[in-house]
Structure 1
Amino acid sequence: MKKALMHGHTAYMVTQFNLDNIKILQDLGYTVDVACCWHDDDSALSLEALQDRRKKLDEMGCRVIETASLRKIFNISELRKAYKQLKSEVEENKYEIVHTQSPIGGVICRLACRKARKLYGTKVIYAAHGFHFFEGAPLKNWLVYYNVEKHCSRFTDLLITINKEDYKNAQKFHAKQVAYVPGAGVDTHKFVASDGARGKIRAELGIDDDTCVLLSVGELITRKNHIQVLKALKIMKDQGMLVGPDSDERVEPKYKLKYLIAGRGKIEAELQEAIKDLGLSDYVQMLGFRRDVADVFAASDIYVFPSHQEGLPVALMEAMSVGLPVVCSKIRGNTDLITEGEGGYLFDSKDPQSLVLALKKSLADLPEVRQNMGEINMETMKAFDKQTVNAVMKELYTNIVGAVSNP
């Protein structure tokens, strides 16, 4: 029986982006093991969700290998432990394919596979979900991450990139093959709202029918930049633009809105404190982890995605797939998906005033304009549908086995 290893630095990474890849490998005749740090303190998943995903892997027949944490680059003892664990598993099991991902995890796993590539012909696939060097990134990112990625590409058989900028940069490296794949794919039929979802969710949250609902969904970490939305809303509030107890009746136009943040993560308490300190309790509501995201989408009017750094954001693609207009940061990955004034509006992720302008544009749009933007986004997502991505991945997995590894 052929064997493959799916490696990610966390359970979230493996189960959020790779269940389809595991199924593809199984359909190709592979027994698939999964290696990751299952109990990560910074997990974007609740304990219940983690248990559900572990059960899913068990049902798929995957053996789960629990590794040390690979989140922190300076935790040398954990990195060394993970390296030894992965090296031992790879050499003992003589996998035909090892599929790894994430900047730190991808480095450690590829280092651990060097001997197996030479002795057993193991093919190593590295999926870059967004290089840490990109246009506008700090110089230190280019000095460190660029050179590390370039070096590790020497023992990479297939380097997968998910946006155009990364694909261009990866072609300067030494991987045997570089491929562009349109992300992990989005299930364009996944988010089907229940009957009456819009009214039901709004009633649950105490939101009027005439309130414009802004929504962000995803992991609550600094990189996702939720704080910038709070700063922008603070500016709008201070300038009397928002309908509320402190609004200035002389200011026009005035916006009646509510910003919903769905998700969990390590800065959750920090965001709650910021909402309070900025006096935004009337305008912002944190929902925590939600299983009914489809219904929350249905209750919303504009999707806000303020992230500083992305590869090709699944959360944004999911919002686009249900027909929401978008206000998002003008960064790599986002600009592969959104063109200014078509599916939404772009802003500088470091400038809250830029976000204020983008929000004002979207809030001022007539309902039919927002609907048209949403339809554009749904059409865009057809090229990123899971079926399209899965067909590409199946071809890559099939072809790599016959390829000759780098020395």
Structure 2
Amino acid sequence: MLLPLRFRAKNICCCRCAFAQKTSAAVAALSHKKHLAAAASLSRKKHLLLKLVAHIKENEEHPLIMMVARFEVSKRQDLLLEALAELSDTPWRLQLIGDGSLRPSLEKLITDKGLTDRVSFLGNQLDVTSSLEESQLLVLLLDWEGLPIPIIEAMRAGLPIIATNVSDINELVSDFLINRNDKDELMKKLK
């Protein structure tokens, strides 16, 4: 039972009223904490969204090219690097997945051509799917090959593919095939 109004002035009230005031204060504090947590969560989400937008903008401004292959004689990372070096006015980034005996000479070529800020070596990867999903183009330049798995993985990721017209690759890729060692044609396709 509440006290008459004349006794409730100046915060004088019965026990139930005092409990209600304390409960309301606790609920208000809890509500305030929830709002702060929601604001912090919103701030984190906003930060992640801005980071994602920046990543998308960077990809639009500097498309990510991927080549997945061992660094051996039959794989032509050197041809790709030579072509990209001549496209210095065109925005691009390159990630090379793989490893092998030619890595030191490729690193030297990258340094000599001044491409160190645009090319990264990711080494051997067990799962290239996530890397391919982040890229905008797969380039696979080969002197000979059977059925290259990176082309199949890039097709699954929905990527455009530039590849050399060797073996059975023309059965998988039709639009962006180049002849072996044709740097000029490669440069046209990359533009």
> Per the alignment, in what secondary structure is the counterpart of residue 58 of structure 2?
coil
> Per the alignment, in what secondary structure is the counterpart of residue 221 of structure 1?
coil
Amino acid at match of 1:315: P
Task: Tell me, in whole angstroms, the C-alpha distance in 1 between the residues paired with 2:141 and 2:127.
Answer: 22
Amino acid at match of 1:305: L
Task: Tell me, in whole angstroms, the C-alpha distance in 2 between the residues paired with 1:260 and 1:329.
Answer: 19
User: Is the Cα contact below 8 Å between 1:223 and 1:308 reproduced in 2?
Assistant: yes
Per-residue deviation, 1:288 = 1.0
Task: Tell me, in whole angstroms, the C-alpha distance in 2 between the residues paired with 1:225 and 1:234.
Answer: 14
Aligned counterpart, 2:188: 357
TM-score norm. by structure 1 comes to 0.32
Does residue 260 of structure 1 match 2:110? no
Aligned counterpart, 2:104: 269
Q: 1:214 aligns with which of 65, 68, 71?
A: 65
> Per the alignment, in what secondary structure is the counterpart of residue 214 of structure 1?
strand
Greater C-alpha radius of gyration: 2
Task: Tell me, in whole angstroms, the C-alpha distance in 2 between the residues paired with 1:214 and 1:349.
Answer: 19
**Structure 2 alignment gaps of length 5 or more:** 1-47
> Per the alignment, in what secondary structure is the counterpart of residue 219 of structure 1?
coil
CA RMSD between the two structures: 2.2
Q: 1:297 aligns with which of 97, 114, 132?
A: 132
User: Is the Cα contact below 8 Å between 1:349 and 1:355 reproduced in 2?
Assistant: no
User: Is the Cα contact below 8 Å between 1:216 and 1:260 reproduced in 2?
Assistant: yes
> Per the alignment, in what secondary structure is the counterpart of residue 296 of structure 1?
helix
Does residue 225 of structure 1 match 2:76? yes
Does residue 332 of structure 1 match 2:167? yes
Amino acid at match of 2:156: S
Task: Tell me, in whole angstroms, the C-alpha distance in 2 between the residues paired with 1:283 and 1:347.
Answer: 23
User: Is the Cα contact below 8 Å between 2:67 and 2:140 reproduced in 1?
Assistant: yes
* More RCO (CA 8 Å, sep 6+): 2
Amino acid at match of 1:297: L
* Higher helix fraction (1 or 2): 2
Aligned residues: 139
Q: 2:177 aligns with which of 341, 346, 349?
A: 346
Per-residue deviation, 1:292 = 4.4
**Structure 1 alignment gaps of length 5 or more:** 1-195, 243-255, 361-407
> Per the alignment, in what secondary structure is the counterpart of residue 264 of structure 1?
coil
Task: Tell me, in whole angstroms, the C-alpha distance in 1 between the residues paired with 2:162 and 2:86.
Answer: 17
> Per the alignment, in what secondary structure is the counterpart of residue 260 of structure 1?
strand
> Per the alignment, in what secondary structure is the counterpart of residue 224 of structure 1?
coil
User: Is the Cα contact below 8 Å between 2:65 and 2:95 reproduced in 1?
Assistant: yes
User: Is the Cα contact below 8 Å between 1:220 and 1:268 reproduced in 2?
Assistant: yes
Per-residue deviation, 1:209 = 3.6
> Per the alignment, in what secondary structure is the counterpart of residue 236 of structure 1?
coil
Per-residue deviation, 1:208 = 2.4
User: Is the Cα contact below 8 Å between 1:228 and 1:349 reproduced in 2?
Assistant: no
